[in-house]
Structure 1
Amino acid sequence: MPRFTPPPADAVRSRLLDAARDEFTEYGSAGAKVERIAAAAGSNKAQVFHYFGGKDGLFEALWVQTVTDIAARVPLDVDDLAGYAGRLHDEYVRRPWVPRLATWHRLEGAPLDAVVAVRRDAVAAIEQAQRAGALPRTYRPAVLLGLVEHLAAFWSEASPESAALVEAVAAPRRRQAVVDAVAALVGA
């Protein structure tokens, strides 16, 4: 009789994170069910607790992974914040679950050290560019970063009422509006 060979731990962990992404995007942390996540991942509840300590740990791990993945895919470019915003907008279009997960995190989450570290590095880069005169000092570095990133997410995070008013704006024009708004913000 063949012996059972368990899947590698990183494969199980990855499947759980993928299943959690869909579940948390739909229901948030409070409404998500560990049983559904485990079933969708072809695993069981015990694995969720083993790898993540529970549902909250799984949500936190997913959010940290999401933020670090986006930071790697769309690195901050202080020499071209408008282009950065356009690329970030593109990432949200390609991965529409990210803004929704971000909304759930804002509603239900707490600051996570790993995410704060990513944000702190970006703020430091903007502050350095401001000190060098490459970016205006109109806004504090953290505020400028927040404005740029929120402009990039404008179309993805618009309320249904706002979206209805601008639905005729074509996709390429949406991206260009983000780029133009950030360029105006930084005086480029």
Structure 2
Amino acid sequence: MTYDSAATRSKILAAAIEEFSDHGFAGARIDRIAEAADANKRSIYVYYTNKELLFAAALHQVINELNEATPLTEDDLPGYAGRMFDYLTQRPAALRMHLWRQLERPELGPDAADVYSEKMARMTADSSAAHLPPTDLLVLITGLTQSWILAPRDLLTAVSTADPYRPERLAEHRAVVVEAARRLCAPSGSNRTPE
């Protein structure tokens, strides 16, 4: 049987994403990653050099997959919010990895500043752009997409003890996220209800 180094690297990276998303950088253990990947520790160090570079590779993988699956469309931010909400509720490891990055290693991972700058420049140039500064608007929309996942479970079950992650409830909240994003993007004064 021939050794497949690409398959081994892929298994190591998948196991690392699970380990880092569950335990963060500080809590992750190379032994557990090696066991989950059915690889030896030495191969992890051969392919990724050290734990920090493995964490960086895991971040790149997760963030690139998220960006490919949910491209930022500056002309349809409510649609973007809905797609991002779907992605994060279906793949909670992506949000956990992002949070661990913010807490422990904010300097690691792909630098998306150029991508965001380009999108925000287009939003600024668009005459139908919202009344909010582009950076603030994207921060608010990003927060909307993560709000259900980050909210305390006690809050989500305060009115109903039913599972807040059941498909029907997620669909209801997704509609709220999209509508809130639509209102954020609307020109000033267009969200007011008649008196």
Q: With structure 2 as the length reference, what TM-score do the two structures score?
A: 0.84
Distance 1:173 1:63, change over 3 A: same
1:158-177 mapped onto 2 (5 Å cutoff): 158-165=151-158, 170-177=169-176
Which residue of 147, 155, 158 corresponds with 2:148? Answer: 155
Q: How do residues 72-87 of structure 1 correspond to structure 2 at under 5 angstroms?
A: 72-87=68-83
Q: Does the CA-based 8 Å contact 1:85-1:179 persist in structure 2?
A: yes
Partner of 2:125: 131
CA contact (8 A) 1:123 1:145 kept: no
Give the counterpart letter for 2:73 in structure 1: D
**Paired residues of 2:130 and 2:184 also in contact (CA < 8 A):** no
User: Which deviations, in whole Å up to 9, do the C-alpha atoms of 1:70-96 show, x marking residues without a partner?
Assistant: 111111111110010000000011112
Q: How many residues align?
A: 181
CA offset at residue 19 of structure 1? 0.5
Amino acid paired to 2:90:
R
Alpha-carbon RMSD across the aligned residues, in angstroms, is 1.9
Q: What is the identity percentage for the equivalent residue pairs of Structure 1 and Structure 2?
A: 32
Please list the CA deviations of residues 101-124 of structure 1 after superposition, one character each: whole Å capped at 9, or x if unmatched. 222111111223x622x2431332
- 1:88 and 1:37, CA in 2 relative to 1: closer, same or farther beyond 3 A? same
The equivalent of 1:68 in structure 2 is: 64
Q: Does 1:6 align with 2:3?
A: yes
Deviations 1:113-142 (A, max 9, x none): x622x2431332122122122322522x33
Residues 7-39 of structure 1 show CA distances to partners (whole Å, capped at 9, x for unaligned) of: 1x2211110111111111211110111011011
Q: Which residue of 1 aligns with 2:55?
A: 59
The TM-score, its normalising length taken from structure 1, stands at 0.87
Matched, 1:185 2:184: yes
Counterpart-to-counterpart distance in 1, 2:159 and 2:175: 14
Consecutive unaligned residues in structure 1, runs of 5 or more = none
CA contact (8 A) 1:99 1:157 kept: no
| One-letter amino acid of the structure 2 residue matched with residue 150 of structure 1 | G
Q: How does 1:17-96 map to 2 (within 5 A)?
A: 17-96=13-92
Q: Secondary structure at the match of 1:6?
A: coil
> Higher mean Cα deviation, 46-55 or 141-150?
141-150
Larger mean CA deviation between 142-151 and 166-175 belongs to 166-175
